[in-house]
Amino acid sequence: METRRWTNPSQPQTLYIATFLLYVNAFFGAVFGGLFSPIGLLIIVGEVAGAFGIANERKWGYYLAVVMATVALVFPVLSLIGHLSLIFDPRFLLNILFPVALFALLVHPTSREYQKIWFH
């Protein structure tokens, strides 16, 4: 019988941490009002589905997680247009820290290689 899991400690550390970051991003998105907008709800569902797919070694989960990480990076980067001084704002740096870390963990060579070999 095939088991479904929310996390998978047998995966490389990069994918394991990325799974947790996806769940944390979804949680904070829900707590801070993402459930009340259609786009926010779509992002929350996408992050949870991506994390669940990665934990169960599914290619669609990995690709969905990369898309969700990219979407999370787009909004802060777009806010820089015309306001480059935001780069020195500590609040901006804290807001972009997790999306950058998540994206880096997902596209890390170890994650990509493991995904190519083991994911179905």
Domain spans, the chain: 13-118
Q: What is the mean pLDDT of residues 32-44?
A: 91
CA 110 to centroid of chain Cα atoms:
16
CA nearest neighbour of 56 among 13, 17, 26, 19: 19
- Whether 9 has a pLDDT exceeding 80, the answer reads yes
- Whether 112 has a pLDDT exceeding 60, the answer reads yes
pLDDT tens digit string along 58-109?
A: 999 999 999 999 999 998 889 888 888 888 999 999 889 999 999 999 999 9
pTM (two decimals)? 0.91
The burial class, CB within 10 Å (0-12 / 13-18 / 19+), for 4 is: exposed
- Whether 1 has a pLDDT exceeding 50, the answer reads no
- Whether 2 has a pLDDT exceeding 70, the answer reads no
3-class DSSP state of 9? coil
For the record, the structure tokens of 80 come out as 């820089």
- What rounded mean pLDDT belongs to the chain? 93
